[in-house]
Amino acid sequence: MSDDIDKKQDAKHDEGAAQAARMGLSEDWARSTLEKLAFAALTAQRRERRWTLVFRLLVVTLVVALFLSYEASHVRASGLAGRFTALVRLDGTIQAGGTTSAGPIDQALRRAFAAHPAGVILDADSPGGSPVQASDINAEIWRLRARYPHIPVYVVVQDLCASGCYYVAVAADRIYANPASLVGSIGVLMDGFGYTHIMRKVGVTRRLLVAGANKDFLDPFSPLTKAHKAFAEKMLGQIHTQFIDAVRKGRGARLRPHRGLFSGLIWTGYRARQLGLIDGFGTVGQVARHIFKAPHIVDFSPKEGLVTRFAQRLGARVSQAFVEQWLSPLPRLQ
């Protein structure tokens, strides 16, 4: 009897062990299967991402290729191979970072001259701006004139060609405008606000620590000292002298003596012609047709990108102008 009981217990133990072994194998198989499935899913996901990236790159490449093809065909369709007039627009305030900065304008002028047109027209409508940017464009026009002496470059003024814009214009062979255009303003300014009286009235004290006796130069929240004012006026005078030298170099004997010529006054196109600031009256079309004898005009002007236009709509230009003009004053030919 005892032997039968022992045999039954041994049988149950063996069956339990076998079942446990089967369960262990089943768990190992399940774990292995899950790992394989997870690895396969991860591999598929990586492959999908890789192909998505490749697809996006192909789309971008295709778009760029189509754009370049369109530009090339557009230029060919515009008659670039024949006689034409090259046009570059200088529209708006001359400042760093925009399409009217020296970089884009210089590049546009280089492309225009390299295409060997009958002539280049700089279509100008600007109140001026940065003396650095204006000086750079002026120098590039002189360089291109020396490199392509057979290609004339004329400036045609629309409503306004003042200060920094005129700094650019004097590098051209000739300047044309409308009798009612505004031309000149050969001067330099630096402006801003002082908030010391308001701060004193409100009871606000300025706490400014500097390393350097003049580090607070033109700080709008500190009183303007006589020394800082004298230094700023001297600096503006130096830039003004550079401006006057550029005008005399470009206009030469065409300038007529006048006491207010370099005083910052602005003149109508009619009066500007009498003073020798411009050479005559005319439009872009008239210069292309009657002077260059090439009525077909090809525009080489720099174009603004989508991001730039979007930023402008969001008021980026307004905030930048506020900071530059009121919080960080810089000399301006404007």
- The tens digit of pLDDT for each residue in 288-313 reads 999 999 999 999 999 865 544 444 44
Give the per-residue pLDDT at 295. Answer: 96
Give the per-residue pLDDT at 274. Answer: 97
pLDDT: is 97 or 2 the higher one?
Answer: 97
Query: DSSP 3-state assignment of 190?
Result: coil
Q: Could you tell me the CATH superfamily of domain 83-327? A: 2-enoyl-CoA Hydratase; Chain A, domain 1 (3.90.226.10)
Which helix (H) or strand (E) segment is 118 a member of? none
Domain boundaries, the chain: 1-77, 83-327
Give the per-residue pLDDT at 291. Answer: 96
Average predicted confidence (pLDDT) for the chain: 81
Position 72, amino acid: A
Say yes or no to pLDDT of 247 above 90.
yes
Say yes or no to pLDDT of 324 above 80.
no
Share of residues in the chain with pLDDT > 90 (%) = 51
- Contacts with 258 (C-beta within 8 Å, 6 or more apart), sequence order: 275
DSSP 143: H
Q: What are phi and psi of 50, to 5 degrees?
A: -60, -45
In the predicted model, what is the mean pLDDT of residues 99-107? 95
Query: Which is nearest to 170 in space by CA: 277, 281, 288, 286?
Result: 277
Give the per-residue pLDDT at 137. Answer: 98
Calpha distance 100→122 (Å, rounded) = 12
Give the per-residue pLDDT at 307. Answer: 47
Of 162-171, 174-183, 188-197, 311-320, the range with the lowest mean pLDDT is 311-320
In the predicted model, what is the mean pLDDT of residues 145-166? 97
Say yes or no to pLDDT of 182 above 90.
yes
- The tens digit of pLDDT for each residue in 233-245 reads 899 999 999 999 9
Whole-model pTM? 0.69
Say yes or no to pLDDT of 64 above 90.
no
The C-alpha R_g of the chain, in whole angstroms, comes to 36
